[in-house]
Structure 1
Amino acid sequence: MANSFEALHVDPKMFKDTTPFTDEGQKLTLSWLNLSYKVKFGGGYKYLVQDLSGIVRPGETLAIMGPSGAGKTSLMNLLANRIKSGVTEGEILVNGKARSKDFTFQASYVAQENLFLEIFSVRESLEFAANLTMPSSSTKKEKEAKIDEVVKIMGLQSCENTMVGGGFYRGLSGGQMKRLGIAVTLLSGASILFLDEPTSKLDSAAAFNVVQTIQQLADQGKTVIFSIHQPSSELFASLDKLTIITMGQIVYFGEAKESLDYFSNLGFPCPKYTNPADHFISLVNPDFGHFPNIDKIISSYNDSKLVQRIESEHQELTEIPQALINKNRASFLTQFALLFERNGRNTVFNPKVFRARLFSNCLFGFLFSSLYSLTPRGEVPAFAITALFFTIMNQFGTQTLAALPFFLALRPIFVRERSNGMYSVLPFQLANFIATVPTLAIYSLAATSIFHTWLGLAGSYYWFWLTAFCLLLCTESVMHILSAVTPYYVVAYSIAALYIIFFTCTAGYLVPTNQLIYILQYSSYASFFVYSFQNFIYNEFKDTPKNYDVLISYSAEDVDMELNLLIMGGFVVVLQFIFFLLLFFFNTGKQ
């Protein structure tokens, strides 16, 4: 069997990086002993992983392999401190000491789906990460040098100025995207890297290239742990340390090159010309009926010298003094400035989103106004104008639904960057909101200027536009909240549509608010649509005696427009505060 493995041998020299990679990060050993994790299931608990032990030192890579549902992701999340529910048992140590709150700065996690804003180039994405994660004392020249270094070691020179791409634009390939995700983590100086299935959705050549890059990082003193589903034979031959998991339990932990002899000694030799990874997975895969040998393999491992070796290494592992951790990253103001610039560019210079919403507002203005093309300007009947105001509320409400995919796409990027310690919640939330204000002002200006000019509305244009603008701020804030509540567009869309329909119908146009049943009267005043409708009709009819009866019919004879705008501004503040709380407590990256 050893001969069959030798046929798959890959020259280790091919993994040696010829580029000197300087890293200020400290060298950290990650170890875990008797690690278990259980969640509530039925009337009791169910173990997702049980009694796992292992150790990975600087300069080593550990590949976690196993069939689907074996517990690979659960183990990765436990080690990366990305678990907030369930019950965790056992120890996880960094240099022989329990993990501290500084672990966020010591480790970095690369998710299976590497998401970036698609309109930015590779270089721009790395510059953003460098400005946030490198020491604040670093000069621009030092940051540029570090970026050049990372680009070179990750093999991104050919696509350095290529747009990342995504749903709207073509950009990086799958392998390039994976390497960009790793490159971003390198800029932070993290010493421990976690990669969740970095070879998923890649062809064998791209997958091999990514694993080669991972090995290069370990050669520079990093501690690297990654999960892998079913590597090719060539890729398997390049692995360093290997652990195989099934049903939440370990069946092998040791050198990858020793795994064939280990299973052969158990009576499960790998057939000639068979991929060892395929052989091991078939041995421990319980999906198609409980394989009779799985229990034997698990118990054999628990009684093996491999377990004794891990326990011995744990006993020998004393507390190693840790170097000072660089937490002197970007300040609050720097974080805000960088996020504001990025979100602003993404909002304004993402032409397909910006132009679509601007075109929608202009088209709405022209279509509605054209209905009264044969009516002399300034003589549009009062009932039509009040219908216009109701339609504006509906349009400005439903139009923001188009922004939901935009915000939902931004959410996983925020979660990834926040969980890796790039920035905190408040600067992101403030930058995200403030960056949308200019575009909302433009959208509202486009529609209201067409209405006011074409139809010859009698009211002040300033109050008309300002009310419409505040209405958009409120509805946009609702979309922010929904994007933080659920990652699913259909769910968010359904909730938003129901919200808009209910509160526009109780805003006073269809039935005056004082004529609604009590429960609807009280609920209507918890809606910003009520205050916008009052402002619209009062501004339009307060100085036209012939239409003053319209104000009487809607009980709007004495409306304080300034107060209403302040109330709508209060709605914005409250809604944004709710958005902040949702981001802070429920979008942490932990499961």
Structure 2
Amino acid sequence: MGSKYQDEIEDLSTSSPPLSAMQVTNNNGVVHSFDINAQTCHRNRSSSQIDIQEDTCCSIKDRPLPIFLKFKDIEFKVKMSKATPGNPVKAVMSKVASNAEQDNYKQILKGITGSIGPGEILALMGPSGSGKTTLLKVIGGRLCENIKGNVTYNDVTYSPALKRRIGFVTQDDVLYPQLTVEETLIFAAFLRLSSSMSQKQKYERVEVILKELGLERCRKTRVGGGFIGGISGGERKRTSIGYEILVDPSLLLLDEPTSGLDSTSANKLIQILRENAKVGRTIVTTIHQPSSKVFHMFDKILLISEGHPMYYGKARESMSYFMSLRFIPDIAMNPAEFLLDLATGQVNDITAPDDIVAPKGTFEYERAVIRYVQNRYKIELEGKEKDAIQRTGKAPEHLRLATQVKKDWTISWWEQFLILFKRTYRERWRDYFDMLRIIQSLGVAVLLGLLWWKSSYANEARLRDQIGLLFYVCIFWTSSSIFGAVYVFPFEKFMLVKERKADMYRLSAYYVCSTLCDMIAHVTYPTIFMSILYFMVGFKKTLQCFFTTLSVILLIAITSQGAGEMFGAAVMSIRRAGNVASLILMLFLLTGGYYVQHIPAFMQWLKYISFMYHGFRLLLKVQYTGDELYECESIGGCRPLQSSPSFDTVNLKGGWKEVWMLLGMGVVYRLLAYICLRRKISQCII
């Protein structure tokens, strides 16, 4: 934080009683006023705890809590994976080298210092791979390991209390494609804004954001993405920003917000950020090569090359600084283009100092230019900025204390569940009632009904046919349910990680509503399917038997859904989830009791963990009883069904223990799915 804040902060630190407002002058000479008491509220004089008045702090009219951001000597390294070479000789040599050097790390950030205050925008610039996004993640608290240096927010280090005061807009817009722009913001408002606000206030807040970001014309349009048509790239980026500023974050971080946008859209977007900074937000953004107009909208620039800082200071003073180092453009150049040329060492159209010793136009010359600029930064600028940060007094006690207070959940678990249930259903209903899926269920039901039209079990051959139909029905709904559930969490992984990082809701609320929403399809389609098939084939024509059979099919489908969720949550990869589900389905199919009834003793444990095995046996017990007679037209006369070879391993009078097995499996699978999901998401958040 520069020295321009020193007087204001020292005044606030020594003031008594607590001040109600503060003023900060930014680089452009504009004075911003911030209501401290509205944000930090008051301290309970009878205890050391802070009493944050949520109804005041979350009011629409309130400004965000001022955040003074400082980062000093930031270093970050990442552990490199050791890939085994295909050549055996190289593999041996690689192993020897790895034994000699156990810690194989790559340094990404190499001592970066800077500061930014409320009302200002800091732009992180540099070529691709220079470390801009890494620094942004360090500032946002999204990287915690292998970091050296200090990052403070109002002179307080990062803690979970800051999580909901920081908005992070990723380069890739992570939004639900089936929701409209308005629905996206409304659901976010109901999840993230305080329960002390009325529904009307939350809707008003969404209206304000739509108007501020110019999203009114596309408010009823789906977000889209992939193969789903939707809004334009600029509108999608503005929707992502609106998603974050909806809750008035104190610190707004954006990763390449203008990526993929034309110059007009980029100018409009940065202008919107400029307006958001004026209300007291601290904004840090990475940007690759902005136009000259956009460049001059930034208050400060941090130029990074290969993890080293090359310039830090006011955007408007950057050209004069480098010209003082005798880097003079030969032609009229965009300042951003000029800085990037220096960051890459490509100074073809720039006059460079004569004391750079290397043949011009060579790779060595480019490296020499980069090293020269980096060394000059350490001499000219780094010490001044560190001294300025050191001279700056501590942030006001109100701000420090408010920064350390962790906000409670904005709404209760039950309210989170209801909102998530509505959002999940709105997002997935097109998949639930997809025309192709409806035609598949109806078509297969009619086809099977015609193939097994009025079948019977008068003899062994016909009995085998009817048993084969039951097993096929079991396979059909087992596979449909598994593959319908296994991709859910891998597909929504990035959105889930994003929202959990912002503490929008409890993971348990998300999981329960996701499971119950998907059950709509897993109950609806088997019901329609069995209503058509059952009375076309020769099953028992009683309502009791029909509803019992339907209940068994639904139990199989719901248990299979839980298994699919578990496999998907365990791997969290679309490609691998499908492979795992196929493997498990094939294993359960073979041990289901139809193809192989007499499984070897050392393999019999497989059938007990197969829900297809228990479901198939249950269907047989519903349709057949052991004392029913068949083969009455044979030479030997009538025989009871229990004597059929098809029921060698099935006791048709053996009770309904399979029901409890399936229910238990359904519960266990879902518990394991939730545990796996929590573990995977926690790994992504840390």
Q: Same fold (TM over 0.5)?
A: yes
**Amino acid of the residue matched to residue 425 of structure 2?**
G
Q: Does 1:408 align with 2:490?
A: yes
**Equivalent of 1:532 in 615, 635, 659:** 615
CA contact 2:189–2:247 (8 Å) conserved in 1: yes
Task: Give the whole-Å Cα distance in 2 for the aligned partners of 1:567 and 1:410.
Answer: 31
Superposition deviation, residue 506 in structure 1: 1.6
**1:308 pairs with one of 368, 384, 387:** 384
Name the counterpart of 1:473: 558
1:59 is matched with which residue: 119, 130, 146? 119
Partner of 2:106: 46
Give the deviation of 1:494 after TM superposition. Answer: 1.5
Contact 1:134 1:329 in 2 (8 A): yes
Distance of aligned partners of 1:25 and 1:462 in 2 relative to their CA distance in 1, 3 Å threshold:
same
Superposed counterparts of 1:374-389, under 5 Å: 381-389=462-470
1:562-589 per-position Cα deviation (integer Å, ceiling 9, x unaligned): 4322222222222222222233232145
Q: Deviations over 1:348-407 (max 9, x none)?
A: x3257644333322222222222234x557779222222223323332243242555554
2:76 match: 37
- Whether 1:422 aligns to 2:504 is yes
In structure 1, what is the equivalent of residue 178 of structure 2? 119
Match of 2:159 among 79, 96, 100: 100
What SS class does the counterpart of residue 290 from structure 2 fall into?
coil
Tell me the residue number matched to 2:685.
590
Q: Which moved more, 1:148-157 or 1:555-564?
A: 555-564
Whole-Å separation in 1 of the counterparts to 2:645 and 2:166: 63
Q: What is the deviation of 1:331?
A: 1.1
Match of 2:85 in 1: none
Equivalents in 2 of 1:351, 1:488: separation in Å?
20
Local SS of the residue matching 1:165: coil
CA deviation after TM superposition for structure 1 residue 252, in Å: 1.7
Note closer, same or farther for the CA distance 1:395–1:376 as it changes in structure 2 (3 Å cut).
closer
The answer to whether 1:370 aligns with 2:450 is yes
State how far apart, in whole Å, the 2-side matches of 1:351 and 1:506 are: 31
1:446 aligns with 2:528: yes
TM-score (normalised: structure 1) = 0.89
Q: How does 1:235-274 map to 2 (within 5 A)?
A: 235-274=294-333
1:496 matched to 2:599: no
Structure 1's 376 and 500: CA in aligned 2 closer, same or farther, altered over 3 A?
Answer: closer
TM-score normalized by the length of structure 2? 0.77
Tell me which of 639, 642, 653 is aligned to 1:548.
642
Q: Is the 8 A contact 2:432 2:521 kept in 1?
A: no
**Is the 2:464–2:646 Cα contact (8 Å) retained in structure 1?**
no
Superimposed CA distance per residue, residues 20-43 of structure 1 (whole angstroms, 9 cap, x where no aligned partner): x83442111121111222222353
Distance in 1, Cα, partners of 2:134 & 2:435: 43
Equivalent residue for 1:207?
266
Change (3 A) 1:445 1:352: closer
- 2:142 paired with 1:87: no
In the alignment, the residues of structure 2 paired with residue 561 and residue 216 of structure 1 have an alpha-carbon distance, to the nearest angstrom, of 71
Helix, strand or coil at the partner of 2:178: coil
Q: CA deviation at 1:332?
A: 0.9
- AA aligned to 2:218 is C
Contact kept, 8 Å, 2:488 with 2:568, in 1: the verdict is no
How far apart in 2 are the matches of 1:545 and 1:263?
99
Contact 1:396/1:472 (<8 A) preserved:
yes
Structure 1 residues 163 and 259 mapped into 2: Cα distance closer, same or farther (>3 Å)? same
Distance in 1 (CA, whole Å) between partners of 2:645 and 2:409 is: 60
Counterparts in 2 of 1:499 and 1:123: CA distance versus 1, 3 Å:
same
Map Cα deviations across residues 157-209 of structure 1 (whole Å, 9 max, x no partner).
21222222334642211111111111121222211111121111222221222
Letter in 2 for 1:505: L
Aligned to 2:477: 396
| CA distance in 1: counterparts of 2:493 and 2:442, whole angstroms | 29
CA distance in 2, matches of 1:24, 1:377: 76
Change (3 A) 1:233 1:558: same
Structural RMSD (CA): 2.8
Q: Give 1:337 shift.
A: 0.9
Q: Is the 8 A contact 2:300 2:312 kept in 1?
A: yes
**Which blocks of at least 5 consecutive residues in structure 2 are unaligned?**
1-27, 33-59, 83-101, 347-361, 631-640
* Residue aligning to 1:5: none
Q: Paired residue for 1:4? A: none
Q: Secondary structure at the match of 1:304?
A: helix
Match of 1:455 in 2: 537
Asked if the contact 1:29–1:223 (Cα under 8 Å) also holds between the matched residues in 2, the reply is: yes
Q: Say whether the 8 Å CA contact 1:120–1:163 is kept in structure 2.
A: yes
Question: Which of 61, 67, 72 is the aligned partner of 2:132?
Answer: 72
Gaps of 5+ in 1: 1-11
| Secondary structure, counterpart of 2:311 in structure 1 | strand
Counterpart CA distance in 2 for 1:331 and 1:63 is 38
> Does residue 516 of the first structure (1) align with residue 600 of the second (2)?
yes
Which of 486, 498, 513 is the matching residue for 1:431? 513
- The 8 Å contact of residues 270 and 276 in structure 1, kept in 2 or not, is answered as no
Specify the code of the residue in structure 2 equivalent to 1:389: L
Structure-2 residue corresponding to 1:3:
none
Query: Which of 675, 678, 681 lines up with 1:581 in the alignment?
Result: 675
Q: 1:452 to 1:228 in 2, by over 3 A?
A: same
Aligned mates of 1:559, 1:286 — CA distance in 2: 84
2:289 is the counterpart of 1:230: yes
CA contact (8 A) 2:487 2:577 kept: no
Residues in 2 aligned to 1:138 and 1:276: alpha-carbon distance in whole angstroms: 46
* Number of matched pairs: 570
Measure, in 1, the Cα distance between the counterparts of 2:291 and 2:433: 41
When Rg is computed on C-alpha atoms for both structures, the one with the higher figure is: 2
Q: Which has the higher contact order (CA 8 A, sep 6+)?
A: 1
Select between 221-230 and 522-531 the one with higher mean Cα deviation.
522-531
Q: Percent identity?
A: 25
Deviations 1:332-352 (A, max 9, x none): 1110111112112333x3257
SS state at 1:120 partner: coil
Q: Is the 8 A contact 1:241 1:255 kept in 2?
A: yes
